[in-house]
Chains A and B, each alone.
Chain A
Amino acid sequence: MMFGLKTSFRYAFSRTRGQRATSIMILCGIAIGLVALLVISAVMNGLQTAQLDQLRNLESFDLIVSSDTLTASQLQDLDQVETAFDFLETNVLIVDKTSGVSSSTRVRAYKGTDGMNVYRDSRMSESLYILRGNSDSMEGIFLSYTMVRKLSLVSSDDINITFLKPGKTATIVPYTAKLPVSGYFSSAMTEFSQSTAFMDFDLLAGTIGGEGARIGLYITGNQNKVIKAILALDPSAQVVTWQEYNKALYSALTLEKTLMYVFLAFMFLIICVNLKNSTRRLLANKQKEGAMLRALGLGRRRVNALFLGQGLVICLLGEILGVVLGKIVIANIQNILAFVDKVVYAVTKSRTILTQIPFNAAIGNWEIAIVCVFIFLLSFVFTMTGCRRIYKSEIMEVILNASY
């Protein structure tokens, strides 16, 4: 046993016939491949998580409930409900005062339970930043900073907004109101910022009527359990999940994730080919010595185990190096991207998009473990098949014909 381990380690880093260089090349190949796999996974995970968080924080919340009988206060008391609030949404036309051109946007209004400020005190604050104005008392309209610049507005400017409200003779009639711009906001979702404005809930309800009001929920636990509890309170309630609300985007993200795995599988394939060829070379370097050991009385299985040990020592060290480097790169990814951005800017005079999207690169330990186990198994399989090829021949045939 000790002889085998000692010999495996010695063979792995033997100074003869460039064996050490080959081993280091394999080790580095595994490490670099692993770093690439881990970092890409972490960045993609981070970007997707950020995207999904923003969707759930801003666009759709976790659940949207339409009910004639339920109130936000009732739902706030349910288990696993973090925040419940009334919300109202309508499409409006905002007129550009300089050009006179109307642009379509949507106005949203939230009303928390027990006087809670949804913009500031709920999960929404993680993705929505009030740049100017007081969200406790919205007297006019809050526009995104993007829109403020687009419309060449300053704070307290009045703008003409055309609502569609229920009429006396027709179902819906246009109604234009002049409202002051009482604040600006920005959000992590560009599309959201470009298409959304906020108003006081009661003011909007007074303008278009409060019949279309729904209840938005942020939840902490299992979405299905919460839906079940809501339906128990009102079987006729309609509950829309964030996945359903953002169906198109959610499908796109799922597709993106699938493609990412396909891409990673290709990378994995490249690592495999490298591993296979290098393992063969390692075995070829030592096949003559393997045959000599067999001549001296070491059984075929023990010689296989010895070469297996050699391959696995290299693989294990490569994996340890890869995981450590990968974790370091992931922890410093923002700095690295900033550096890359500087270099790209210096050359092309344009910024890379990754530095402009806030995300936290993260990868689970189980994901790392799966990748490592796969590489380890591949190393095992390639060494075993390599050994089988070598030991199909007679001992003396190997000794006399080995290239080394």
Chain B
Amino acid sequence: MHPIELKSITKRFKATEKGGGEITILENLDLVVPQGKSVAIIGKSGSGKSTLLHIAGGLDSPSEGQVFCNGTELSKLDDKARSMLRNNHIGFIFQANLLLEDFTALENVMVPAMISGRREKECKERAVELLTKLGLADRMNHVPGKLSGGEKQRVAICRALMNSPEVILADEPTGALDEENAAEVETLLLDLVKEEGRSLLLVTHNQDFAFRCDTVYELKNRNLREEKALS
């Protein structure tokens, strides 16, 4: 039983132009993200990396195939159960950080825990701890509009870690960061895998970052090709 397992995944989109039929992005694809390991997916822009990540996290549905999270097939769950699973077991880090604009950094980090019904005081303590750890102690009462790109991404990481999820799905987490901040975020995510035993599914263009992961796949011609095997 793996935190994330994809079996025979196919994803088709309707073409935007009239009479364009369907475009197949992923075809008959298998992927396993083992417990306590990091998996990176690299590939050209538009190859379907982000789509694959979204399918793995239950944010998008495959046209065919099955997605398992700790052995539970996502398509068998209703919206409430699937939402709970996302809330408790998966932490998302999006490419464009996607923070809630009306909430401060602290409140943004608290959101997943508030959704799961934990007490506000408890949530606050954990959020402060995470923000302090990521060097945002003096920025926690700022709204996203007042934070730099790097700070926003760190807030998004804190939010992803808030409910101590088993698996973190990260879509270009360093894409919008300068070298220094990017290196910091890379180290932080890989440390979480090594030290806390979490799993990481990473989508990136950054080859160096990808090859620091345990396994690397390249998404090419609608399927995955192993570039670096789990040792």
Contacts and interface: CB of A to CB of B under 8 A. Distances in A.
Contacts of B112: 296-297
A18 to B, nearest CB: 12
Nearest to A399: B98
Interface in A1-32: 2-3, 10-11, 14-16
A294 interface: yes
Contacts of B92: 295-296
Nearest to B57: A295
Given A3-B114, A296-B87, A296-B159, A289 B100 contact: yes
A175 B115 CA distance: 96
Given A14-B101, A16-B102, A293 B115 contact: yes
Contacts of B103: 10
A288 B112 CA distance: 17
Contact of A299 (B83, B88, B102): B83
Contacts of A300: 79-80, 83
B120 A2 contact: yes
A397 B11 CA distance: 14
B79 A296 contact: no
Interface string B78-114: 0110011111100010100010111100000001101
B79 A396 contact: no
Contacts of A394: 59-61
B111 A296 contact: yes
Contacts of A397: 60
B2 interface: no
A298 interface: yes
A395 B60 contact: yes
A130 interface: no
Contact of B116 (A10, A292, A297): A297
A97 interface: no
Contacts of B100: 289, 292-293
Interface string B56-73: 010111000000000000
B59 A298 contact: no
What DSSP secondary structure best describes chain B's contact surface? helix
A394 to B, nearest CB: 5
Nearest to A14: B102
A301 interface: yes
B222 interface: no
The bracket for how many chain A residues form the interface is 20 to 34
A297 B80 contact: no
B228 interface: no
Contact of B88 (A15, A295, A297, A301): A297
B60 A299 contact: no
Contact of A292 (B51, B80, B98, B163): B98
A15 B79 CA distance: 31
A294 B83 contact: yes
B205 interface: no
B79 A297 contact: no
Nearest to A13: B102
Nearest to A303: B83
B54 interface: yes
Nearest to A16: B101
Contacts of B145: 16
Contacts of A14: 101-102
B86 A10 contact: no
Nearest to B163: A297
Contact of A289 (B54, B57, B88, B101): B101
B115 A3 contact: yes
A297 B94 CA distance: 15
Contact of B86 (A2, A289, A295): A295
A390 to B, nearest CB: 14
A78 to B, nearest CB: 69
Contacts of A294: 83
A2 B115 CA distance: 10
Interface-centre pick from B85, B94, B115, B120 (highest chain A CB count, 10 A): B115
Interface string A369-401: 000000000000000000000000011110100
Contacts of A288: 98
Contacts of A295: 57, 59, 86, 92, 94, 98
B74 to A, nearest CB: 12
B59 to A, nearest CB: 4
B71 to A, nearest CB: 19
Q: Which of A10, A16, A298 has the most CB of B within 10 A?
A: A298
B59 A301 contact: no
Contacts of A293: 100, 111, 115
Contacts of A302: 83, 115
Contacts of A2: 120
Contact of B54 (A3, A296, A396): A396
Nearest to B54: A396
Contacts of B61: 394
7 contacts: A3-B114, A10-B102, A296-B87, A297-B83, A297-B115, A302-B83, A399-B94
Closest 4 interchain pairs by CB?
A: A297-B87, A299-B83, A3-B114, A395-B59
Given A3-B114, A297-B88, 9 more contacts: A3-B111, A10-B103, A11-B102, A14-B102, A292-B100, A297-B86, A300-B79, A394-B61, A396-B60
